[in-house]
C-alpha cells in the first residue's frame, strides 16, 4: 500500500483493482485544498496505471465524506469570483476524469455521504453502501443557501430525471441506504462494513467482459434523460408552474432554490459538460451572496457549536434520564411524553383524571399509527414505544422520576401548587423542569424545596416537530441542573439554547414584539391585510395577525393579566396598543382567536377573512405609512429586542440568539437569525435605520448601545 499526499491510501491488488481509501487530515474527509491536490494526484496515477481493471473509492473515516469546506466558502467574497470558479471547475474536471477512466469505478460507502461526498459517489459507475443507520445520502446544500456545485445537479437530473431529482435538489431530501437503493441512487447494499470493499471488487470482477460498465449512463451514445428532456411534452406542465410555486414558497428571499431549479432545467436541456459549467457559475454566484454567508454561519457553524455543548457547564458527568414525569396531558404535555418515549425513556403522564391522561397518550398512538402506515416503524417498535407511556391520575406513580416536567396553564398559583404537591416524588438526585413560556423561573422556584434543582425547559408546539428547546436558568439553578437539562434535551434529539431568567425569557419576549408591532399598526389605521402580508414578505413564516389568532388572543389576555397580578406587566415596554386590541376583540366581542369565535379574522368554509368590525373601528384609508417602514418595523422590533436580551445577559451567546430566533420564533431563514442579520445589513447602516424609525415611530426603535460598542471596536456579532 502507498499513500498519495499522505491522505489517500492507494492499494492495487493482484487482479488489477486499485482501492483508494480517503483518510484526510482531521476528523472527516472534506472537499478542501488537501482533497483537490490528493484527488488530482490520484487521477493522474490511475490514468498511468498498467493493468488496471477497476477502482474502488472508500473511506477510513466513520463518515464517508463530509462535503465542501465551509470555511473556504465563507471566506470567498465578491471580487474572488474568477479564482473561485476556476477552483470549482478543477473539482468538476477531476470527477469527470474519474468517471471517464476506461475501467469501472465503484463507491464503497461506509457512512454519511452528503453534498460533495455524494457528488463523488455519483461520479462512480456503481455505488454500494452498508445498510446501516450511519449511512445518509443526499445533496442538502440548499439548506445552507447553496447548490450542489460539484456536478450534483447535472448528474442527478441525468440519473433520475428532472421531476424525480427535484426533491433531492430543492428540498435537500436525504435517504438512508434502503431508500437510496429503492430510489436508484445506489445499486446495492451489504449487511456490514467488512463486506463492503469485497462486494465492490466482486462487482468489478463480474464486469470484465462488459465494456459498458466503465461508462456512465450520460456518456452512452444516445442517452435519454428519464422522464424526458426539458422540451418534452411530459415536462411542459411541470416547467410552466414550478417557478411560480417556488416563488410562492421562497417569496423571492432565497436565491438558492431559484438557481437550483434553473440549473436543473438546463441540465435537462443542454449537453452534459455545458450543463456542468452552468452549474459551476451558479454555484460561484451563490457562494458570494449574503444569504449563503448567513445560512452557513448559523446553520452549520453556530448550530454545531450549540449541539456540541458550548452552553453546557464543563466538568459535569453526562446524565441520562430513565424515568420522566410529565404533569399535564394537554397539547404540550402529550408531545413531551411522545418525544421522550420515542428515545426509550419511561414516561409517567399525569393529569387530573385518568380519562384526560389517556387522551394525552392517544396523541402518541396517532403519531405511531402514521409512522407504521408509512413504513417508518414496525409494529413491535410501535407497541414498545406506547408501552413506555403510563397514563395516570395518581401522584404516587411519579415516585422515582429522574425529572418531572410541569406543563400546565400559565398561572403562577397553579404551577406553585403542583410543585409543592409533587416535587417530593423526584428521585434523590432528580430535578424539576417547568415548561413555562412566560413566567420567571426564579419566582416559580420559590415554591420549590430545592430551587437549585429547578429549571425552565420551554418546548415549542407541536413538540414532535419543533426542533428547539429553550432552557432557562433561575438565579439559584445549579450548573449540575443546567448540565442535566442540556443532556436531556440532546437525549430527546432536540437543539437546546440556554438563556438566563427574564419575563418571557428570550423567544416569547421577542416574538411578542412581532405581535405587538402588528397590533400598533392596526390601531394606527393601517389595513390589517397589508400588515399581515408584509410580515410574510419580510420572511416570517406566518403573518403576525394570522399567527396571533393561531396562538390565541385569549392566551395573551391571560398572560397580561398574570403579569399585571405580579406587577410586571410593562417591564419590557408599554403594551397600550396590544391592550386596546385585546379589549376590543376579546373583552368586548368575545373574539379570542381562531379557536374562540375568531379573532382578527373570521373563519369559514371559504377560508379566513378580516373581521369587518376591525375595519370599522380602526382602518384609516388615508394612512400613508410606507411599505418598507411596515416591513422594517415588524423585523427591527424583534432584532432590537434580541439585542436587548444579548446586552442584558438574558442571552448568553450570539449562537443561541440566532438559532433560537430561527427555530423558536421563525426568524427569516435568509437572515441567519436576528443577530446575524445585522452583520450583513451592516452595523452602521442598522444604527442609522433604527434612528430613522425611532424618529418616525417611537423610542422602542432606539438602537441598543451594544451596536455602537461593536462599531467602535470595528467588530461584528460572533
Q: What angle do CA 630, 529, 331 make, to 5 degrees?
A: 100
pTM: 0.92
Residues 641, 506: Cα–Cα separation, whole Å: 9
pLDDT of 575 over the 90 cut: no
Average pLDDT over residues 488-496: 98
**What digits encode the pLDDT tens for the residues 94-145?**
999 999 999 999 999 999 999 999 999 999 999 999 999 999 999 999 999 9
- 228-232, 497-501, 548-552, 659-663 — which is least confidently predicted? 228-232
Write out the E strands in 379-510. 389-392, 401-406, 426-434, 454-459, 468-473, 495-500
**Confidence band for 281, pLDDT divided at 50, 70 and 90:** very high
Check residue 316 and give its pLDDT.
96
Range 488-509 average pLDDT: 94
Task: Flag whether pLDDT at 245 surpasses 90.
Answer: no
Is the four-CA dihedral 519, 520, 522, 528 of positive or negative sign? Answer: negative
Percent of the chain at pLDDT exceeding 90: 88
> Is residue 103 a contact partner of residue 55, using CB atoms and an 8 Å limit?
yes
Q: How confident is the model at residue 3 (pLDDT cuts 50, 70, 90)?
A: confident
Q: What is the pLDDT of residues 520-560, one digit of tens each?
A: 999 999 999 999 999 999 999 999 999 999 989 998 898 88
Residues 74 and 436: their CA atoms lie apart, in Å, by 38
Q: How far apart are CA 145 and CA 670, in angstroms?
A: 8
DSSP 105: E
Q: Do residues 474 and 441 touch, judged by C-beta distance below 8 A?
A: yes
* pLDDT, position 328: 96
What DSSP assignment string belongs to 598-611?
A: BSSEEEETTEEEE-
- SS3 state at 59: strand
Q: Which three-class secondary structure state does DSSP give residue 642?
A: helix
In this predicted structure, what is the pLDDT of residue 215?
97
Helix (H) or strand (E) holding 239, with range, is: helix 233-250
Task: Using pLDDT thresholds of 50, 70 and 90, give the confidence band for residue 244.
Answer: confident
Q: What confidence tier does 437 reach under pLDDT thresholds 50, 70, 90?
A: confident
Q: Is the pLDDT of residue 574 over 80?
A: no
Predicted local distance difference test score (pLDDT) of residue 558 = 86
pLDDT at 414 over 70: yes
Quote the pLDDT of residue 522. 97
Which three three-digit cell numbers place residue 523? Answer: 390601531
Q: For residues 454 and 448, is the Cβ–Cβ distance under 8 A?
A: yes
Complete DSSP assignment for 487-555: HHHHHTT-EEEEEE--TTTTHHHHHHHHHHHHHHHHHHT--HHHHHHHHHHHT-SS-HHHHHHHH-HHH
Grid cell locating 253 = 428571499
Q: Give the whole-angstrom CA distance, residue 89 versus residue 95.
A: 10
Listed ranges 18-22, 500-504, 507-511; the one with the highest mean pLDDT: 18-22
* Residue appearing with cell numbers 491510501: 9
The string of DSSP letters for 274-290 reads HHHHHHHHHHHHHHTSH
Report pLDDT digits (tens) over 340-364: 999 999 999 999 999 999 999 999 9
CB atoms within 10 A of CB 428: 5
pLDDT tier, 572 (very low <50, low <70, confident <90, very high otherwise): low
The residues pairing with 456 across neighbouring beta strands, listed in sequence order, are 434, 472
* pLDDT on residue 170: 96
Taking the C-alpha atoms of residue 593 and residue 526, their distance in angstroms, rounded to an integer, is: 20
Q: Write the DSSP string, 298-349.
A: IIIIIHHHHHTTTTSPSS-------EEEEE--SHHHHHHHHHHHHTT-EEEE
pLDDT at residue 569 in the model: 67
| Cα dihedral 675/679/680/682 (nearest 10) | 120
Q: For 585, how many CA atoms within 13 A lie in the half-sphere containing its CB?
A: 35
Closest listed residue to residue 458, CA positions, set 468, 469, 449: 469
* Start-to-end C-alpha separation, the chain: 45
pLDDT confidence of residue 411: 85
Q: How confident is the model at residue 656 (pLDDT cuts 50, 70, 90)?
A: very high
pLDDT of residue 18 exceeding 90, the answer is yes
Mean pLDDT of 74-94: 96
570: confidence class by pLDDT, cuts 50, 70, 90: low
pLDDT of amino acid 80: 96
C-alpha cell at 154: 447535472
Report d(CA 49, CA 47) in Å as an integer. 6
Q: Which residues on neighbouring strands pair with residue 21, listed in sequence order?
A: 9, 58
Task: List, in order, residues 6 or more apart from 245 with CB less than 8 Å away.
Answer: none
Amino acid at each position: 500500500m502507498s499513500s498519495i499526499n499522505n491522505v489517500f491510501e492507494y492499494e492495487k491488488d493482484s487482479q488489477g483493482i486499485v482501492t483508494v481509501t480517503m483518510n484526510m487530515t482531521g476528523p472527516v474527509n472534506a472537499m478542501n485544498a488537501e482533497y483537490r491536490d490528493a484527488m488530482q494526484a490520484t487521477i493522474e496515477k490511475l490514468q498511468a496505471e498498467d493493468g488496471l481493471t477497476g477502482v474502488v473509492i472508500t473511506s477510513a473515516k466513520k463518515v464517508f465524506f463530509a462535503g465542501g469546506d465551509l470555511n473556504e466558502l465563507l471566506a470567498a467574497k465578491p471580487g474572488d469570483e474568477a479564482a473561485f470558479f476556476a477552483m470549482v471547475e478543477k473539482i468538476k474536471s477531476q470527477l469527470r476524469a474519474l468517471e471517464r477512466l476506461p475501467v469501472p469505478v465503484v463507491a464503497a460507502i461506509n457512512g454519511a455521504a452528503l453534498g460533495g461526498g455524494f457528488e463523488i459517489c455519483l461520479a462512480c459507475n456503481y455505488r454500494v453502501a452498508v445498510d446501516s443507520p450511519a449511512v445518509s445520502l443526499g445533496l442538502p446544500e440548499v439548506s445552507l443557501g447553496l447548490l450542489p456545485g460539484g456536478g450534483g445537479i447535472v448528474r442527478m437530473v441525468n440519473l433520475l430525471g428532472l421531476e424525480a431529482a427535484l426533491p433531492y435538489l430543492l428540498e435537500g431530501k436525504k435517504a438512508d441506504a434502503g431508500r437510496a437503493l429503492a430510489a436508484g441512487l445506489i445499486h446495492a447494499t451489504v449487511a456490514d462494513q467488512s463486506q463492503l470493499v469485497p462486494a465492490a471488487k466482486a462487482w468489478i470482477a463480474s464486469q470484465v467482459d462488459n465494456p459498458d460498465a466503465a461508462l456512465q449512463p450520460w456518456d452512452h451514445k444516445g442517452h435519454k434523460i428519464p422522464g424526458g428532456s426539458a422540451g418534452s411534452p411530459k415536462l411542459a406542465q411541470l416547467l410552466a408552474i414550478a417557478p411560480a410555486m417556488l416563488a410562492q414558497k421562497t417569496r423571492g428571499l432565497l436565491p438558492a432554490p431559484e438557481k437550483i431549479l434553473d440549473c436543473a432545467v438546463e441540465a435537462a436541456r443542454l449537453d452534459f459538460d455545458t450543463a456542468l459549467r452552468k452549474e459551476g457559475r451558479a454555484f460561484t454566484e451563490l457562494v458570494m451572496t449574503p444569504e449563503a454567508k448567513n445560512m452557513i454561519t448559523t446553520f452549520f457553524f453556530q448550530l454545531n457549536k450549540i449541539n456540541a455543548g458550548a452552553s453546557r457547564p464543563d466538568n459535569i458527568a453526562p446524565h441520562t434520564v430513565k424515568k420522566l414525569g410529565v404533569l399535564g396531558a394537554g397539547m404540550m404535555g402529550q408531545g413531551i411524553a411522545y418525544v421522550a418515549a420515542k428515545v426509550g425513556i419511561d414516561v409517567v403522564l399525569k393529569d387530573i383524571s385518568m380519562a384526560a391522561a389517556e387522551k394525552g397518550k392517544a396523541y402518541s398512538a396517532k403519531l405511531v399509527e402514521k409512522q407504521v402506515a408509512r413504513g417508518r416503524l414496525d409494529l413491535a417498535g410501535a407497541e414498545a414505544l406506547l408501552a413506555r407511556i403510563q397514563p395516570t391520575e395518581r401522584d404516587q406513580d411519579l415516585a422515582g422520576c429522574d425529572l418531572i416536567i410541569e406543563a400546565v396553564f400559565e398561572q403562577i398559583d397553579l404551577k406553585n401548587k403542583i410543585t409543592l404537591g409533587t416535587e417530593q416524588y423526584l428521585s434523590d438526585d432528580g430535578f424539576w423542569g417547568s415548561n413555562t413560556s412566560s413566567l420567571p423561573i426564579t419566582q416559580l422556584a420559590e415554591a420549590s424545596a430545592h430551587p437549585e434543582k429547578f429549571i425552565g425547559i420551554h418546548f415549542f408546539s407541536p413538540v414532535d416537530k419543533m426542533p428547539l428547546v429553550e432552557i432557562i436558568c433561575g438565579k439559584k439553578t445549579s450548573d449540575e441542573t443546567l448540565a442535566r437539562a442540556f443532556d436531556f434535551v440532546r437525549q430527546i434529539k432536540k437543539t437546546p439554547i440556554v438563556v438566563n431568567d427574564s419575563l418571557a425569557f428570550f423567544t416569547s419576549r421577542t416574538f411578542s414584539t412581532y405581535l405587538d408591532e402588528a397590533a400598533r399598526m392596526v390601531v394606527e389605521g393601517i389595513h390589517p391585510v397589508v400588515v399581515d402580508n408584509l410580515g410574510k414578505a419580510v420572511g416570517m413564516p406566518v403573518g403576525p395577525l394570522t399567527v396571533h389568532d393561531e396562538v390565541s388572543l385569549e392566551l395573551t389576555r391571560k398572560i397580561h393579566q398574570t403579569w399585571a397580578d405580579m406587577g410586571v406587566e410593562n417591564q419590557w415596554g408599554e403594551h397600550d396598543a396590544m391592550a386596546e386590541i385585546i379589549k376590543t376583540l376579546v373583552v368586548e366581542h368575545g373574539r379570542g382567536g381562531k379557536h374562540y369565535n375568531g379573532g382578527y379574522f373570521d373563519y369559514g368554509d371559504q377560508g379566513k377573512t378580516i373581521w369587518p368590525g376591525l375595519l370599522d373601528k380602526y382602518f384609516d384609508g388615508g394612512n400613508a405609512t410606507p411599505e418598507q417602514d411596515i416591513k422594517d418595523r415588524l423585523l427591527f422590533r424583534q432584532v432590537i429586542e434580541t439585542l436587548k436580551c444579548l446586552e442584558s445577559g438574558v442571552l448568553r451567546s450570539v449562537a443561541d440568539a440566532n438559532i433560537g430566533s430561527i427555530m423558536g420564533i421563525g426568524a427569516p431563514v435568509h437572515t441567519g437569525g436576528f443577530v446575524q442579520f445585522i452583520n450583513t445589513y451592516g452595523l452602521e447602516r442598522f444604527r442609522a435605520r433604527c434612528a430613522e424609525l425611532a424618529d418616525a415611530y417611537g423610542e422602542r426603535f432606539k438602537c441598543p448601545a451594544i451596536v455602537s460598542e461593536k462599531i467602535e471596536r470595528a467588530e461584528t456579532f460572533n
